[in-house]
């Protein structure tokens, strides 16, 4: 086994051994996000009945989103490995709470250290951007070639995490959904029709 393959196996082992939330590893979370995205795409683009529960915003059916996506392989790698750096930046505070400071940057750096795709690394490094996006940053964000992938993945992420939040009816999920919905509407409003 070459060095890169050994490091990749080590990364998978670390992701599998690090909890994202109680009972859910970082790797399982990434796989769940990728599965949610594939379910979303099959439902919206192919008319398949959804396998997971969804609360879909109106803008999700806009073909401009789906036309701007990178390859299926790029998306899946990004979605599975978007938190790859969490095992490397885990901090447990005095109360026993787990934190992952600057995990998007660390995840990007870990991915690049393996000699992997720069395109995937860029998506990984920007993974939190939709979740943290403010009104005054929407115009710049909408210009990014990664905007559609990041927005649709953010929607898949909050649905994949809904069980952690307490379900689709929880206050936490509703707050996160409302933010992604508002940002999605604002981003699409800046794209040519």
Question: What is the tens place of the pLDDT at every residue in 98-131?
Answer: 899 999 999 999 999 998 999 999 999 999 999 9
Comparing CA positions, the residue from 93, 77, 139, 100 lying closest to residue 18 is 100
Angle of CA points 186, 192, 193, to nearest 5°: 95
| Residue 164: pLDDT over 90 | no
CATH topology of domain 3-189: Hypothetical protein af1432 (1.10.3210)
Question: What is the tens place of the pLDDT at every residue in 54-99?
Answer: 999 999 999 999 999 999 999 999 999 999 999 999 998 999 888 9
Phi, psi at residue 51, to the nearest 5°? -90, -25
Handedness of CA 118, 67, 129, 152 (dihedral sign): negative
User: What's residue 4's pLDDT?
Assistant: 44
Answering whether pTM is above 0.85, one says yes
User: Are the CB atoms for 62 and 148 separated by under 8 Å?
Assistant: no
Q: Band of the pLDDT at 163, cuts 50, 70, 90?
A: confident
User: What's residue 22's pLDDT?
Assistant: 86
* Three-state SS at 53: coil
Question: What is the tens place of the pLDDT at every residue in 12-59?
Answer: 999 999 998 889 999 999 999 999 999 999 999 999 999 999 999 999
Average pLDDT estimate for 140-148: 98
Average pLDDT estimate for 151-156: 98
| Residue 1: pLDDT over 60 | no
User: What's residue 115's pLDDT?
Assistant: 87
User: What's residue 3's pLDDT?
Assistant: 41
């Amino acid at each position: 086994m070459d060095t890169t393959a050994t490091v990749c196996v080590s990364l998978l082992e670390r992701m599998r051994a690090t909890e994202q939330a109680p009972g859910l590893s970082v790797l399982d979370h990434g796989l769940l996000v990728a599965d949610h995205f594939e379910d979303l795409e099959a439902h919206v683009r192919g008319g398949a009945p959804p396998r997971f529960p969804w609360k879909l915003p109106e803008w999700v059916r806009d073909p401009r989103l789906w036309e701007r996506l990178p390859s299926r392989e790029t998306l899946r790698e990004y979605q599975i490995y978007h938190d790859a750096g969490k095992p490397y930046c885990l901090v447990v505070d005095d109360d026993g709470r787990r934190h992952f400071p600057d995990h998007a940057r660390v995840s990007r750096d870990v991915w690049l250290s393996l000699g992997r795709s720069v395109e995937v690394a860029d998506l990984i490094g920007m993974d939190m951007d939709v979740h943290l996006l403010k009104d005054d940053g929407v115009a710049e964000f909408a210009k990014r070639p990664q905007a559609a992938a990041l927005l649709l993945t953010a929607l898949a992420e909050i649905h994949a995490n809904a069980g952690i939040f307490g379900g689709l009816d929880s206050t936490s999920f509703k707050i996160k959904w409302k933010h992604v919905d508002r940002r999605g509407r604002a981003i699409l409003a800046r794209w040519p029709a």
